[in-house]
């Protein structure tokens, strides 16, 4: 299970920053469980940022748009923290009841471990956005 993200936050025509994240899961059920755990956390700010979390097949998709890099960084970082907790919980309790067609428990555990590694990498990427944004602001 490897998470993929856009290489950097980019602006669209309206000068808003965007970030897309996709996290593949071993099964549709696990993607839906993660979605159900992460969706109740709406953005506390009413303006300046929007977040959409969906499931497509076995992939959890998250999409942000924000006016400021700092707001985007805080939101994505918080989401990654919650996603890490969801993955750790899924590891602790094990996979959902396996069906005949699901991958083995070992493959699913390995997949979640890979996703956690990817999430850690995305955290450092998000932190670097804020540094670059503050450097641009000083020029």
Would the pTM of this model clear 0.85, i.e. be above it?
no
Domain that holds residue 72: 4-138
- DSSP code, position 46: S
What is the CATH number for 17? 3.30.310.50
What pLDDT shows up at residue 110?
61
Q: Judge whether residue 123 has pLDDT over 70.
A: no
- Give the confidence band of 39 by pLDDT, cuts at 50, 70, 90: confident
- Give the confidence band of 124 by pLDDT, cuts at 50, 70, 90: low
Q: Give how many domains the chain has, as a whole number.
A: 1
Q: Cα 5 to the chain's mean position, in Å?
A: 8
The SS3 of residue 45 is coil
- As a whole number, mean pLDDT of residues 4-31 equals 78
The answer to whether 133 touches 11, Cβ cutoff 8 Å, is no
Of 94, 88, 79, 95, whose CA–CA distance to 39 is shortest? 79
- Give the confidence band of 56 by pLDDT, cuts at 50, 70, 90: very high
């Amino acid at each position: 299970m490897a998470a993929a993200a856009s290489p950097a936050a980019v602006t669209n025509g309206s000068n808003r920053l965007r970030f897309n994240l996709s996290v593949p899961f071993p099964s549709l059920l696990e993607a839906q469980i993660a979605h159900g755990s992460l969706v109740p956390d709406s953005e506390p700010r009413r303006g300046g940022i929007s977040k959409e979390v969906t499931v497509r097949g076995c992939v959890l998709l998250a999409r942000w748009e924000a006016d400021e890099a700092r707001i985007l960084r805080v939101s994505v970082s918080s989401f990654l923290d919650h996603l890490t907790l969801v993955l750790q919980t899924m590891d602790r309790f094990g996979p959902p009841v396996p069906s005949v067609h699901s991958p083995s428990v070992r493959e699913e555990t390995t997949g979640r471990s890979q996703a956690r590694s990817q999430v850690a990498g995305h955290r450092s990427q998000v932190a670097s956005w804020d540094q670059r944004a503050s450097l641009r602001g000083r020029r």
